[in-house]
């Protein structure tokens, strides 16, 4: 829920003092360099920790026949802000629910440094008994495929990587002056190097950086530092999955959609085909873009053209509206390449008989006949069926980050941010979601903390449909779907 | 001017019968394969043919001191539709005006074929005594740099290349059924190949193509065929400039912005930093996007990363906010790579001391320290100063094409399409242009054909400013600019 910022943050800070989220507390202090190290191997099936399911409830959540909708309940751990959440297992797509979610309040503690560039300045807040830092709020969905390992690890670790990337920025983000373009050399571990500049020289240089010394010096905003931190956190998360996939038995990959609230702004990072929207006063504001073979066609074709060896002689970088038959050689066929948005005819040559890199339409569009999303975490072992061609160089782990400034508007309790996997958006469009949100919210008091979970449940129930003779059906008798949407 | 479509086209067709534009008439019949061949070498300085300037007027148009605004006048050749046009020489940027413009009505004649795939079908119109085809209307601006050769040739030939690309589509575009995915083999010149399928077999196959034979067959629209034709026409235009630059003494390059009206739709193709907007009932609809080192940073960095040899060891694909000094080695500097929209710090290494591929901000942003646009025609000989590093592989000739369907709205005589080079848009924003348009149009009768040229003149005069002691100044005392906007 998008409350007025200061009120929300104040309320939250008060709550944190009394009941710090255990895992989040650990993040600032120790997660740093070793995020994920030493954690136990993830179980084959688990649900988000904040659901706090009993073993019996966990079994029920895994039941494909009942498809019970799961939500956090009152009296158990409350989600930060006025967040709601609901999920349901998919209808038989995989044995277990491969999706995951995470919701945390994370303290970013400034990295200890013998001489921080701003250490003598005023303005950096000291919180929690001398520890300098700030909090961010975090909600994320991970839509897993081909195994739950990547989604589970990402749900446990992505926020810690974000925290790690932000630790170097604690002082810089709290200082209203523009970020320094250049930072001093880091202190050497062990004895000081006598060849290095003196402390005074070094600091002098750094402080000069606040005033542009060159005519051409680009101004970089605080906001873009946070975006860069989130982008690199996704990369580090993906690297960790790659490193530990063997030892931790991590299978599969996942789309990742994360919303980070930090210093008055929402940063929504998306890698995959999940989606986020803000509903403000009935108006819909898209906060993400989907990354699929269709939306990323030109990037993929460009890479394939420049690195044809990645296609293993099986694929052509050109797109055709259908497979070409060998007997059609010499005829003219519609095609498009990395430079084109339109279509044109070309004479069919031998090379065009290869399978197109991008093939199919809409939900059936596939890259290398294998995968329907083009961004996400994991999938380091994913190959084209019965071949040695890797998907990964085409599948990117980098998110697109969109920013929403909460201080620019007066928000009311009915303004919400909705995060959902494709299970929600495949069967429910933006306007229908907005209608459900409004319908449910008006039937609860504005200060009832349950109302957001009720919205999430209603969205999930409508997406799941009702079990009929021919399977799970929606109100319009179309097939229902699974996956977990969250409402924040 | 966006008149109601049918009215505008009807009026136009009537006019065409009486007075066919000579050059355009040639296009359909003979421009085909040899567009541009045998044309005289372009003069060092010339202005658009439709201005029909006398030698004396031409000299005056080239005068940097007077900077007279040029427009087509009444009584001379009228521009198609209710188009207005005005231009002025730049204020000393180059000796001559390197910009060009073109406005044509082009007849696209179906390419002669012994057995067109649709030749026995009804519905393809026979115009002009048996010649099958259709007309398109064409307005284009070419913002030249480093010489006028490329802009002159493009202004003389681009529409012929578009015509050439459309010739194979005459029957397909006039047939309301979806375009065939595959066309039959072309007829062999000389004696028929006995190994080829018989005519009947071949035709049978082709007609089957209208019904999708495969489950996965992508539907391709007529509109996307036109887009593909325009995209490939830009490529052929660029190839022609490359082929003939030596023999025709063509220097430089140019941004190209073209608006094509065809079968009820405007196709606006842009390669460079010119811009087009539609002003409809006071509302502004952007019809193009600018291609600059800043807007195309990620594409350029991606290419540089995959093809580092194109950088000749002089440039780094990373972006930094300023040049790095050798003594800063080992410090941390803000950077971003091809995957990032945000910024982060990295430790400066030897390789980072190279010049950044993209450098500078706004109008001062340059690719390889050389050029401020990243799409356009020509520039095949352009190299980084005192090096052998070519700009061309980074500089793309492909346009982005946007489509506006005129049949979807009822337009009034005050609705206009404005095309302008950066000379207009650098000093006048969308809202100011819309205000000038409205102000000028209301002072003329709606049926006065001069009113659109009056708008163009007013826009140019405001962009040029008035000659004061310290040069040409705008009303706000900022520096005025040159270049030619057109109003259609």
Instruction: Tell me the pLDDT tens digit for each residue of A150-175.
Output: 999 999 999 999 999 999 999 999 99
pLDDT < 50 positions in chain B: 1-43, 75, 115-124, 127-128, 188-214, 475-488
Strand partners, B416: B279
Nearest CA in chain A to B360: A216
At A460 the pLDDT is: 86
DSSP designation for B438: H
Q: What does the block give as tokens for B419?
A: 């095309």
Measured distance CA(B157)–CA(A203) in Å, rounded:
61
pLDDT > 70? residue A124? no
Rounded to an integer, the average pLDDT of A423-449 is 90
Check CB contact under 8 Å for A334 and B361. no
Nearest CA in chain A to B363: A216
Q: Say which residue, B222 or A35, is predicted with more confidence.
A: B222
With CA atoms as reference, report the closest residue to A317 among A356, A366, A372, A361: A356
Mean pLDDT of chain A: 79
Strand partners, B70: B87
Local structure of B277: helix, strand or coil: strand
At B215 the pLDDT is: 54
Burial label for A433, CB within 10 Å (0-12, 13-18, 19+), is: buried
ipTM of the complex: 0.83
Distance from CA of B364 to the nearest CA of A (A): 9
Measured distance CA(A28)–CA(A420) in Å, rounded:
28
Rounded to an integer, the average pLDDT of A396-411 is 95
Q: Using a CB–CB cutoff of 8 Å, tell me whether B307 touches chain A.
A: yes
In chain A, positions 127-156, which contact chain B (CB-CB < 8 Å)?
Answer: none
Q: Say which residue, A80 or B390, is predicted with more confidence.
A: B390
Contacts of B218 in chain A (CB under 8 A): 321-322, 360-361
Strand partners, B266: B261, B404
The maximal CA–CA distance of chain A, rounded, in angstroms, is 80
Closest to A345 (Cβ–Cβ): which among B168, B344, B398?
A: B168
Rounded to an integer, the average pLDDT of A218-237 is 97
For chains A and B, count residue pairs whose Cβ atoms are closer than 8 Å.
167
Q: What does the block give as tokens for B64?
A: 């940097």
B171: alpha, beta or left, given left = phi > 0 and alpha = psi -120 to 50? Answer: alpha
Rounded to an integer, the average pLDDT of A447-470 is 79
Which of B167, B267, B321, B333 should one mutate to test binding to chain A, selecting the residue with the greatest count of A CBs within 10 A?
B321
pLDDT > 90? residue A177? yes
Nearest CA in chain A to B217: A322
Q: Using a CB–CB cutoff of 8 Å, tell me whether B398 touches chain A.
A: yes
With CA atoms as reference, report the closest residue to A381 among A392, A367, A370, A397: A392
At B454 the pLDDT is: 86
Nearest CA in chain B to A230: B342
Q: Using a CB–CB cutoff of 8 Å, tell me whether A351 touches chain B.
A: no
Residue A251: pLDDT band (50, 70, 90) is confident
Mean pLDDT of chain B: 79
Check CB contact under 8 Å for B182 and A333. yes
Measured distance CA(A459)–CA(A436) in Å, rounded:
7
The C-alpha angle A205, B327, B321, rounded to 5 degrees, equals 70
Residue A471: pLDDT band (50, 70, 90) is low
End-to-end CA distance of chain B: 5
Distance from CA of A168 to the nearest CA of B (A): 9
Measured distance CA(B481)–CA(B488) in Å, rounded:
21
pLDDT > 60? residue A327? yes
Strands (E), B336-427: 344-347, 355-356, 358-359, 366-367, 377-378, 400-405, 416-420
Contacts of A184 in chain B (CB under 8 A): 331-332
Contacts of B183 in chain A (CB under 8 A): 331-333, 345
Nearest CA in chain B to A205: B328
Measured distance CA(A377)–CA(A239) in Å, rounded:
9
Measured distance CA(A315)–CA(A356) in Å, rounded:
5
At A74 the pLDDT is: 64
At B53 the pLDDT is: 84
Q: Using a CB–CB cutoff of 8 Å, tell me whether A421 touches chain B.
A: no
At A479 the pLDDT is: 41
B223: alpha, beta or left, given left = phi > 0 and alpha = psi -120 to 50? Answer: alpha
DSSP designation for B291: -
Rounded to an integer, the average pLDDT of A375-379 is 97
B153 close to B36: Cβ distance less than 8 angstroms: yes
Check CB contact under 8 Å for A235 and B179. no
At B356 the pLDDT is: 94
Count Cα neighbours of A220 within 13 Å in the Cβ-side half-sphere: 27
Sign of the four-CA dihedral B354, B359, B360, B361: negative
Distance from CA of A173 to the nearest CA of B (A): 13
Measured distance CA(A168)–CA(A116) in Å, rounded:
10
Check CB contact under 8 Å for A228 and B336. yes
Which of B216, B265, B361, B402 should one mutate to test binding to chain A, selecting the residue with the greatest count of A CBs within 10 A?
B216
Q: Using a CB–CB cutoff of 8 Å, tell me whether A201 touches chain B.
A: no
Least confident of A204-218, A263-277, B464-478: A204-218
Contacts of B341 in chain A (CB under 8 A): 224, 227-228, 231, 400-401
A210 close to A167: Cβ distance less than 8 angstroms: no
Strand partners, B268: B259, B402
Cα dihedral A107, A113, A118, A122 in deg (nearest 10): 60
Rounded to an integer, the average pLDDT of A31-37 is 39
Q: Using a CB–CB cutoff of 8 Å, tell me whether A401 touches chain B.
A: yes
Nearest CA in chain B to A321: B218
pLDDT > 90? residue A429? yes
Which of A165, A344, A353, A356 should one mutate to test binding to chain B, selecting the residue with the greatest count of B CBs within 10 A?
A344
A36 Cβ contact partners less than 8 Å away, ≥ 6 residues apart: A153, A156, A157, A160, A240, A244
A396 Cβ contact partners less than 8 Å away, ≥ 6 residues apart: A271, A291, A374, A375, B339
Q: Using a CB–CB cutoff of 8 Å, tell me whether B396 touches chain A.
A: yes
The long-range contacts involving B18-22, CB below 8 angstroms and separated by at least 24 positions, are: B21/B104, B21/B105
In chain A, positions 7-36, which contact chain B (CB-CB < 8 Å)?
Answer: none
At B461 the pLDDT is: 85
Instruction: Tell me the pLDDT tens digit for each residue of B330-382.
Output: 999 999 999 999 999 999 999 999 999 999 888 889 999 999 999 999 999 99
Contacts of A216 in chain B (CB under 8 A): 322-323, 359-361, 364
Rounded to an integer, the average pLDDT of A363-374 is 94
Check CB contact under 8 Å for A342 and B229. yes
Nearest CA in chain B to A183: B332
With CA atoms as reference, report the closest residue to B452 among B414, B411, B412, B409: B414
Strand A131-145 to strand A355-356: parallel, antiparallel, or no bridges (unpaired)? Answer: unpaired
Distance from CA of A19 to the nearest CA of B (A): 33
Check CB contact under 8 Å for A398 and B336. no
Q: How many CB atoms sit inside 10 A of residue B137's CB?
A: 23
At B285 the pLDDT is: 95
The Cα-based distances of B466 to A222, A480, B262, B486 in angstroms read 41, 68, 39, 20
Distance from CA of A340 to the nearest CA of B (A): 7
Residue B365 main-chain phi, psi, to 5 deg: -65, 135
Using the CB atoms, write b or e for B184-205: b if 16+ within 10 Å.
bbeeeeeeeeeeeeeeeebbeb
Check CB contact under 8 Å for A224 and B322. no
Contacts of B182 in chain A (CB under 8 A): 324, 328, 331-334
- HEC profile of chain A: CCCCHHHHHHHHHHHHHHCCCHHHHHHHHHHCCCCCCCCCCCCCCCCCHHHCCCHHHHHHHCCCCCCCCECCCCCCCCCCCCCEECECCCCCCCCCCCCEEEEEEEEEECCCCCCCCCCCCCCCCEECCCEEEEEEEEEEEEEEECCCHHHHHHHHHHHHHHHHHHHHHHHHHHCCCCCCCEECCCCCCCCCCCCCCCHHHHHHHHHHCCCCCCCCCCCCCHHHHHHHHHHHHHHHHHHHHHHHCCCCCCCCEEEEEEEEEECCEEEEEEECCCEEEEEECCEEEECCCCCCCCCCHHHHHHHHHHCHHHHCCCEECCECCCCCCHHHCCCEEEEECCCCCCCEEEECCHHHHCEECEECCHHHCEECCCECCCECEECCCCECCCCCCECCCCCECCCEEEEEEHHHCCCCCCCEEEEECHHHHCCCCHHHHHHHHHHHHHCCCCCCCCHHHHHHHHHHHHHHCEEECCEEECCCCCECCCCCCEEC
Distance from CA of B401 to the nearest CA of A (A): 8
At A137 the pLDDT is: 94
At B341 the pLDDT is: 97
In chain B, positions 282-301, which contact chain A (CB-CB < 8 Å)?
Answer: 299
Q: Using a CB–CB cutoff of 8 Å, tell me whether A344 touches chain B.
A: yes
pLDDT > 60? residue A7? no
Contacts of B374 in chain A (CB under 8 A): none
At A211 the pLDDT is: 44
Transcribe B22-85 into DSSP letters.
HHHHHIIIIITTTTTTTPPPPPSS---GGG---HHHHHHHT-TTT-PPB---TTSPPPSTT-EE
Contacts of B362 in chain A (CB under 8 A): none
Sign of the four-CA dihedral B467, B469, B471, B473: negative
Least confident of A267-271, A392-396, B212-216: B212-216
Q: Using a CB–CB cutoff of 8 Å, tell me whether B207 touches chain A.
A: no
Measured distance CA(A406)–CA(A137) in Å, rounded:
14
Check CB contact under 8 Å for A322 and B217. yes
Local structure of B271: helix, strand or coil: strand
């Amino acid at each position: 829920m998008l409350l007025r910022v200061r009120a929300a943050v104040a309320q939250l800070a008060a709550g944190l003092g009394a009941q710090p989220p255990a895992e989040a507390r650990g993040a600032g202090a120790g997660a740093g360099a070793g995020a994920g190290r030493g954690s136990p191997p993830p179980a084959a099936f688990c649900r988000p920790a904040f659901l706090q399911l009993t073993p019996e409830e966990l079994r029920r959540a895994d039941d494909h026949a009942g498809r019970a909708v799961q939500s956090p309940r009152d009296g158990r751990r409350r989600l930060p802000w006025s967040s709601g959440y609901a999920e349901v297992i998919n209808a038989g797509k995989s044995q277990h629910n491969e999706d995951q979610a995470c919701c945390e309040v994370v303290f970013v503690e400034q990295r200890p440094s013998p001489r921080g560039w701003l250490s003598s300045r005023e303005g950096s807040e000291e919180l929690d008994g001398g520890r300098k830092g700030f909090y961010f709020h975090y909600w994320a969905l991970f839509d897993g495929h081909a195994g739950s390992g990547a989604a589970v690890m990402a749900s446990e670790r992505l926020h810690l990587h974000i925290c790690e990337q932000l630790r170097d920025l604690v002082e810089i983000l709290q200082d209203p002056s523009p970020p320094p373009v250049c930072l001093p050399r880091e202190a050497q571990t062990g004895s000081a190097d006598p060849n290095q500049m003196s402390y005074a020289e070094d600091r002098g240089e750094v402080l000069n950086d606040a005033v542009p010394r060159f005519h051409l010096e680009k101004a970089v905003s605080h906001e873009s530092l946070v975006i860069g931190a989130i982008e690199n956190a996704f990369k580090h998360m993906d690297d960790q999955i790659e490193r530990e996939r063997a030892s931790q038995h991590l299978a599969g990959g996942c789309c990742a959609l994360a919303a980070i609230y930090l210093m008055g702004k929402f940063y929504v990072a998306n890698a995959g085909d999940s989606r986020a929207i803000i509903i403000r006063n009935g108006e819909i504001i898209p906060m993400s873009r989907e990354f699929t073979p269709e939306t990323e066609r030109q990037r993929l074709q460009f890479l394939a053209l420049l690195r044809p060896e990645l296609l293993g002689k099986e694929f052509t970088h050109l797109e055709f509206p259908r497979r070409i038959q060998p007997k059609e050689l010499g005829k003219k066929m519609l095609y498009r390449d990395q430079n084109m948005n339109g279509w044109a005819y070309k004479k069919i040559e031998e090379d065009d008989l290869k399978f197109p890199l991008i093939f199919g339409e809409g939900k059936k569009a596939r890259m290398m006949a294998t995968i329907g999303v083009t961004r996400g975490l994991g999938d380091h072992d994913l190959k084209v069926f019965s071949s040695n061609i890797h998907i990964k160089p085409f599948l990117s782990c980098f998110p697109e980050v969109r920013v929403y400034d909460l201080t620019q508007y007066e928000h009311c309790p009915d303004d919400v941010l909705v995060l959902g996997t494709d299970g929600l958006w495949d069967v429910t469009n933006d306007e229908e979601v907005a209608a459900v949100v409004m319908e449910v919210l008006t039937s609860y008091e504005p200060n009832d903390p349950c109302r957001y979970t009720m919205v999430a449940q209603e969205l999930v129930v409508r997406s799941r449909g009702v079990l009929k003779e021919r399977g799970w059906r929606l109100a319009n008798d179309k097939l229902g779907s699974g996956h977990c949407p969250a409402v924040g």
